[in-house]
Amino acid sequence: MKSTAALLDRVVADLDQVLSADEFTGLSDTERLQLLSVAGDALRRVEAVIVETVATSESVDLPHNAGCRNMNDLLQRTLRVDARTAGQLVKAGKAVHRETVLTSGAPLPARWPALRQAMLDGAIGVTGLLAATGPVESAGDRIGAADRWKADAVLAEVVRGYTATEGADADGGDTDADDGADADDAAQRDRVPPATPEDVKAIAHAIALRLDPDGAEPTEQRAMTRRFLSIGRMQDGVYPLRGNLLPETYAQLQLLLDAQLNPKTDGPPVPEGVTFRPSDEEDDHRADDADDDGDNAGDGDPFNTDPRSVLDTRTRGQKQHDALAAALGIAARHADMPSLGGAAPTLVVHLDSADSSWATIPGVEAPVHAAAARHTGCTGAIQRVFTEQGRIVGITVTDRIFTVHQRRAITLRDRECLIPGCHVPATWCEIHHVTEHARGGPTSTDNGVPLCWWHHRSLDYSGWEIRMNHGLPEIRGPAWWDPEHHWRTPRLSLPDFAFT
């Protein structure tokens, strides 16, 4: 019986034969898609071999015996990868590691048994495994083992491409005449296409939110403590900037950057009427203003007006972060700021209900504390978007061009370009009439979806189809994405069978 390494040597030899054939230039588009799909299968299985090798290593001295500092160093040298890639492999190994019973030596289940098996079957790679486990692991002990195993089973189904709900029409209640199959048979054989790591991460965040609904407060407290902004001394003609931004501050900054960098705008305005003062002179003015009341407030922190400097407990870095957050909000509302979608860059915070402890911000990966929504609503305008079962019902217009409020509502609903796998933010996208306006399609949220410039431009011949089903967008993709060619929701959500 050949050793494991000898079997892999045969795989390497076969790959050498493929690479030496010099037939890549003559491949058709269909053949290239097939080749990439098979190469992905091979890549995920090679990653599984590496992870299992790391996870099953019982010798803590393995790196030392090889003359390396640790497992990360060993992987860098043997695999010829960088430290970050090696770190991901080590982290993945810990997620699928199986302890052994001391008395019998029998292996115990892995921390994530279903995802481990999905990895061994080639359904998920290292990036997908970490994307699936990361959000739940970040909750720590607040999510117990039983709930983690339940999440593990759901996520394993997602990465494999879970089966549609039995008895439900896979085409959303509209079975095409040319399908040639009974609706029940279609539901039985229909499987959602396997998720990408980005989609898996979104599902994992939703699961973590459901399993840890009260975990926002500790996260909020840690985030408030860690926020800061610092400006270092000049080095080589520039000032280094360091800091940790709160999610809503990051999202507002990103909106401003989008507005400045959007190629459809003329760029930032030319400053007019700006007065520059030497920093020493400005500091003198601050000191004079602070000492006008006769106390010694100007002798301490200029951001703190309390004579004893005890009322404001923020560090200087935290104060500077908050000053930046305030400046970003003012800049976003300024008339000279380039617009996004016909309006000033507007921070959108989504809160399901008034008593929710979590909120979401477009562009921010994880949910944020509801305090961010309340603070944003207090300092700016509130736009309420009323929905029923995911459908926007609170806005009715008939204009040819989508209004600012319609764009914001559609952005909130769809978040990014509707084509699966395309993560261009909806704020950069064009709003597409699903039923063309020339054919009587209304300019309403029930007929508008965001598409990036390219997918909008190529929609007629790309193989992607879009329709609205009771106010909810659905998409049907080309055969390489979905051989079943069924209508599907464009964004993965928790499967119907999850946690029931």
pLDDT digits (tens, 9 = 90+) for 93-120: 999 998 877 777 787 888 999 999 999 9
Ordered DSSP codes for 49-90: HHHHHHHT---TTHHHHTT-SSHHHHHHHHHT--HHHHHHHH
Select the more confidently predicted residue: 364 or 479: 479
Per-residue pLDDT, 274: 44
pLDDT band at 304 (very low <50, low <70, confident <90, very high): very low
Q: pLDDT digit string (tens) for 195-230? A: 889 889 989 988 988 888 766 666 777 787 888 889
What pLDDT, on a 0 to 100 scale, did the predictor assign at position 128? Answer: 94
pLDDT confidence of residue 120: 95
Measured CA to CA, the distance from residue 23 to residue 260 in angstroms comes to 45
Query: What confidence score (pLDDT) does residue 293 get?
Result: 42
CA distance 286 to 115: 59
Listed residue (487, 497, 409) closest to 446, CA to CA: 409
Residue 379 is predicted with a pLDDT of 47
pLDDT in tens, 402-450: 888 888 899 988 988 898 877 778 887 888 889 887 678 888 899 999 9
Integer CA distances (angstroms), 191 to 160, 165, 230, 243, in order: 9, 9, 50, 44
pLDDT recorded at residue 181: 45
Structure confidence at residue 285 as a pLDDT band (50, 70, 90) = very low
pLDDT on residue 424: 77
Torsion sign over Cα 381, 362, 204, 141: negative
> Is pLDDT at 91 greater than 80 in this prediction?
yes
Q: Are 208 and 135 in contact (CB under 8 A)?
A: yes
The rounded percent of the chain whose pLDDT value lies above 90 is: 24
Q: Is the pLDDT of residue 340 over 70?
A: no
- H or E stretch including 18? helix 4-20
Domain ranges of the chain: 29-212, 219-268+286-379, 387-476
Segment 176-193 shows an average pLDDT of: 53
Residue 36 has pLDDT above 60, yes or no: yes
Percent of the chain with pLDDT over 70: 68
Give the separation between CA 216 and CA 408, rounded to whole angstroms. Answer: 26
For the cut 90, the answer to whether the pLDDT of residue 156 exceeds it is yes
**Residue 380 pLDDT more than 60?**
no
Measured between alpha carbons, how far is 72 from 91 in angstroms, rounded to an integer? 10
Task: Let me know: does 390 contact 494? Beta carbons within 8 Å.
Answer: no
Higher per-residue confidence, 301 vs 422: 422
Is the pLDDT reported for residue 300 higher than 80? Answer: no
Pick left, alpha or beta for residue 233 (phi over 0 → left; psi -120 to 50 → alpha; otherwise beta).
beta
- Determine the Cα–Cα distance for residues 114 and 498; give it in Å rounded to an integer: 14
Owner of token pair 């921010």: 364
pLDDT in tens, 449-489: 998 877 887 787 788 999 999 889 999 988 888 888 889 88
Identify which has the larger pLDDT, 93 or 166: 93
Highest mean pLDDT, choosing among 179-188, 212-221, 234-243, 368-377: 234-243
| pLDDT for residue 308 | 41
